[in-house]
Amino acid sequence: MITDAIIANSPALLVMIPLIAAFACPFIGRISPAVRNIWVVGAMVLTAAMALLLAGEVFSSGTVVYTFGASAPGMSVPPDSGGIPVRIVFTVDAMSALMQIIGAITGLSIVLYSIAGDRRHTGLESYYTLYLLMIAGVMGMVSTGDLFNFFVFLEILSISSAGLIAYRIDRGVAVEAAVKYFVLSTIGAMVILVAIGIFYGEYDALNIAVIASRMQFTLLDQVALVLMIAALGMKCGAVPMHFWTPDAYSMAPSSITAMLVVASQASLYGLFRVVFTLYNVTLNAATVGWIIIVLGVLSMVVGVTMAIPQKDVKRLMAYHAISQTGYMLLGVGVGLAVLGNQSLLDAFGYVAMEGGIFHIINHAMYKGLLFLTAGAIFYRIGTRNLNRMGGLGHNMKYTMVFFVIGALAIAGIPPFNGFASKLMIYESVFMFNPILSIIAMVVSILTLASFVKVFHSIFMGPRLPEYADVKEAPAPMLIGMGILAAVVVLFGLFPGVVVDHLIEPAAQALVNQGAYISAVMGGA
């Protein structure tokens, strides 16, 4: 009976547990650091368990709707409201569930890593408070079915991320990166708020399902679409608006950088949700699809070419993160460009979208892993400058293995997960437009070249005298990295299972706008 209650309330618990844990963290932290660590890890384990429970529920029995403050969770439309969902509704479909799984796995491994990796710093109560708020922000953003609520969780995420980017002050450089991130996030959030205001003025509703069912694609809606794509594209680091990414990613503590990758992908989720669920076939699919494809191609090419000359290992990885975001935009953009044309959609559109969505989860895993390895190296030798590293393979064997797994995955080498999703993107995009596919492959080769260079300068070569007594990273950090590495390898070995059970339902959920609307509005 209690398990039924937990499953029924899992969408709320998913946000509630990290919030309570975060707010209690300053008190718990006064008892002792050990108790605080247990508290934070426990909260994260519970949150991850909720996310997996909820995802299991969604994948087995369809979209879950949770209405806050109603007399029953499923009562999204009150009987006396005239058929309008007036309350905040969480609508968790397969796409949301996929994002929650990403947040759960990455969040858990990061917190394990953080326990050891950040213990030498002061102010850890605030650090874990903000970290748990980030988790709550990501989980809320991907679950919510209400546009204004989406804005609120986006702000929770942005503010806590900005605080964490500035956490390691580093003679003011980190603070500068945080201010840059914060100003841009705030502008982006305000732009989104204007778009939400347009929808509210036009359709008298904030619920995504209601707006989607009334969508007419007037001039105002086009303005709102442009605002939404620009702001969310900025938040996910697509190229013309990418300039905050390298600063923020390189200056944040490594564990937070790995979480920022997930945060960017939550924004990417928001972009896809707006385009597919809110507008769907009402918009001019070919035009908007091509806009997203162009954003994707620009991100891929500019990201990787900027990455090659970098000297700072985390800055280099940040540019690669931009480049990989381009693949997701490309894959899903191709799916969008053929939306409404069922034969093309069946021929390659679905596969392209599945490739793009599969790349989201793969990217979160291997990029998180790479940032964590960079953090482990920084933890042991205290520099991020590639020119001052060398010969670390002698002392940090496990870190090296994890780095190799991550690097081969990002370059799209079998049998790692990056290969599976990139192959799906190459094949399907080739049928849409061969040139795009060729660009994607060239970018992948450049990525490999860049990571071979990085691998060589960090780990290869003779043992350097100044790093002669460097030790392997502590066990909790290795466990954190190990979880992500295991997922990278497993997804690469069994991509078919993952695509059939997780990715395909997610792609269907994005395309099938009617199912989303009827899940909230019911038969009414």
Judged by the rule CB under 8 A, the positions of this chain that interact with another protein are 5, 9, 12-13, 16, 19-20, 23-24, 26-27, 66-73
Q: Is 512 left (phi over 0), alpha (psi -120 to 50) or beta?
A: beta
Closest to 237 in 3D by CA, of 264, 271, 260, 274 = 264
Q: Considering the complex, state which of residue 74 and residue 240 has its C-beta at the smaller distance from another protein.
A: 74
Q: Considering the complex, state which of residue 16 and residue 470 has its C-beta at the smaller distance from another protein.
A: 16
> Smallest distance from the beta carbon of 58 to another protein, in angstroms?
18
> Smallest distance from the beta carbon of 8 to another protein, in angstroms?
9
Q: Considering the complex, state which of residue 20 and residue 226 has its C-beta at the smaller distance from another protein.
A: 20
> Do residues 116 and 477 lie in contact, with contact meaning Cβ atoms separated by under 8 Å?
yes
H or E element in which residue 189 lies: helix 173-203
Measured CA to CA, the distance from residue 22 to residue 17 in angstroms comes to 8
Q: Report which residue type is found at 508.
A: Q
Closest to 253 in 3D by CA, of 166, 340, 185 = 166
Measured CA to CA, the distance from residue 452 to residue 391 in angstroms comes to 14
Structure tokens at 290: 């091509």
Q: Considering the complex, state which of residue 129 and residue 450 has its C-beta at the smaller distance from another protein.
A: 129
Helix ranges (H only) for 85-146 are: 94-117, 124-143
Q: Report which residue type is found at 24.
A: A
> Do residues 142 and 205 lie in contact, with contact meaning Cβ atoms separated by under 8 Å?
no
> Smallest distance from the beta carbon of 206 to another protein, in angstroms?
16
Q: Report which residue type is found at 121.
A: H
Adjacent-strand bridge partners of 479: none
> Smallest distance from the beta carbon of 90 to another protein, in angstroms?
9
Q: Considering the complex, state which of residue 162 and residue 228 has its C-beta at the smaller distance from another protein.
A: 162
> Smallest distance from the beta carbon of 71 to another protein, in angstroms?
7
Q: Considering the complex, state which of residue 129 and residue 428 has its C-beta at the smaller distance from another protein.
A: 129
Q: Considering the complex, state which of residue 307 and residue 520 has its C-beta at the smaller distance from another protein.
A: 520
Q: Considering the complex, state which of residue 68 and residue 217 has its C-beta at the smaller distance from another protein.
A: 68
> Smallest distance from the beta carbon of 12 to another protein, in angstroms?
3
Q: Considering the complex, state which of residue 68 and residue 378 has its C-beta at the smaller distance from another protein.
A: 68
Q: Report which residue type is found at 346.
A: D
The separation between the first and the last C-alpha atoms of the chain, rounded to the nearest angstrom, is 31
> Smallest distance from the beta carbon of 479 to another protein, in angstroms?
30
> Smallest distance from the beta carbon of 459 to another protein, in angstroms?
43
Q: Considering the complex, state which of residue 6 and residue 475 has its C-beta at the smaller distance from another protein.
A: 6
> Smallest distance from the beta carbon of 189 to another protein, in angstroms?
18
Q: Report which residue type is found at 173.
A: V
> Smallest distance from the beta carbon of 155 to another protein, in angstroms?
14
Measured CA to CA, the distance from residue 430 to residue 436 in angstroms comes to 7
Q: Considering the complex, state which of residue 9 and residue 512 has its C-beta at the smaller distance from another protein.
A: 9
The helix/strand/coil state of 218 is coil
Please enumerate in sequence order all residues whose Cβ is within 8 A of that of 277, keeping only pairs 6 or more positions apart, or say none.
208, 212, 510, 513, 516
Measured CA to CA, the distance from residue 333 to residue 330 in angstroms comes to 5
Measured CA to CA, the distance from residue 462 to residue 443 in angstroms comes to 31
How many of the other CB atoms lie within 10 Å of CB of 58? 24
Measured CA to CA, the distance from residue 396 to residue 376 in angstroms comes to 9
Measured CA to CA, the distance from residue 161 to residue 418 in angstroms comes to 27
> Smallest distance from the beta carbon of 129 to another protein, in angstroms?
9
Q: Considering the complex, state which of residue 102 and residue 138 has its C-beta at the smaller distance from another protein.
A: 138
Measured CA to CA, the distance from residue 100 to residue 316 in angstroms comes to 27
Eight-state DSSP code of residue 204: S
Measured CA to CA, the distance from residue 433 to residue 235 in angstroms comes to 28
> Do residues 384 and 378 lie in contact, with contact meaning Cβ atoms separated by under 8 Å?
yes
> Smallest distance from the beta carbon of 382 to another protein, in angstroms?
29
